[in-house]
Amino acid sequence: LALGAVAAFLIELLERGLRTSEDVTRRRGVPYLGAVPYLDKSARMVDGECVSAANYVLKRPVSAFGEALRNIRAGIFFASPDRRVKVLAITSSVPDEGKTPTSLGLARISALAGSRAVLVDCDLRRRSATHALGIEVEKGLTEVLFKTASLQDVIRKDPGSGVDGVPLAQAEFTPRDLFGSDAMRQLIEQLRQKYDVVILDTAPVLPLADTRVLAALADTVLVVARWGRTPASLVKEAIDQLRSHNARIGGVVLEAVETNMIARLLYDKSDYYSELYQTYYIR
């Protein structure tokens, strides 16, 4: 009885999170766009230096990590010949799901592939993309929207990839509706004309209303969820809230996937053969 109770608890715990493509498509009813492998400290050692996950794609662009981002990029930007996607909003249900590394990784992969790419930090409170790019500025996105700075004044180039970044100068706690303004609509249209790929790194959906308003301005929305950890109910709630604001959901990406564990668990899925794929990548 004790063993049975423990087994039931473990099964319930595992079922709370999203672990497979079937969990996403069947249980959440949205496309599954891919999985980003988890990189522990040893995996991120490059030439004797431990690099961040966001910088790993620059050091090892043809690794399994880089290929995962390329697969996601293909699923978003080239999946439908009838509807061209240029403006992508990336979000999550709750904080610390890995959305910013995914945003920066997709922007860098796009730039390395030859696209004109821009990453816009739309997380007013955390400035996550600004920190990930490693830049500090006196004027940024907020000043552009308030018309106290021009777009050209605030853009900073990512030296490793050529991605243009639109940073935030400071954390912003304001009751003003910045993302629902005409200024934001005009800015997105301006970016749409100038770039091939526009990525909006936004705040999580559930704690803040900002993202729901902003997501409706994008061509599609990518929802990032932590593999096996984020409760599926929260992902569903985030998707429902985005749809209530007429946002178009492009799909879900699972972040920090333990590839060794998923290969053992999913013997009847393509992930089971992930170890065999390693011969195609450069670590």
10-residue stretch averages of pLDDT, the chain, 283 residues long: 73 66 76 90 84 86 89 88 87 94 95 96 94 92 94 94 95 78 96 97 92 95 93 93 95 87 51 47 50
Residue 152: what pLDDT?
94
Residue 12: what pLDDT?
56
Residue 27: what pLDDT?
65
Contact criterion met (CB below 8 Å) for 125 and 247: no
Question: Which pTM does this prediction carry?
Answer: 0.86
Residue 118: what pLDDT?
98
Residue 273: what pLDDT?
43
Give the alpha-carbon dihedral of 6, 11, 13, 14, to 10 degrees: 140
Residue 268: what pLDDT?
46
